[in-house]
Amino acid sequence: MLDYNLYKNVILEVIEKIENSLVGVSTKEFLKDPEIQDATLMRLQVIGENIKNLSLKIKKKNKDIKWKKFEKLRDIISHKYQSIDYLLIWSFLETNLKELKQTIQNLEEEA
């Protein structure tokens, strides 16, 4: 059986990195800084990939999280990088990241 705690820990670690890199960063600053944009996109890819590896059981227990949105965002970043809308990325982070972090932190240990 897979150790889903590994995936959960990676997700939490990467969320923390995103949060730390965006402390004090305004929307305007984010939109002008390709270094922060690239780092954030890479981290969102890692989150999406690890979410894909979580069990369906975990996802069904926590239906309030839009798991597919994170998975699809990962695919867009990976395969359609040239069409990224950074304002949408910023909005996505503001809308979804905190809730994902809270849910992942509250997941029961999987056997």
Q: How far is CA 35 from the centre of its chain?
A: 18
Between the alpha carbon of residue 54 and those of residues 6, 88, 98, 99, the distances in Å are 10, 25, 18, 17
Residue 74 known to be catalytic: yes
Q: In this structure, which amino acid lies at residue 30? A: F
Among residues 46, 70, 74, 93, the one annotated as catalytic is: 74
Secondary structure class of 6 (helix, strand, coil): helix
Which residues, including other chains, have CB under 8 Å from residue 81's CB and lie 6 or more apart?
41
Contact yes or no for 40/18 (Cβ under 8 A)? yes
**Residues identified as active-site:** 74
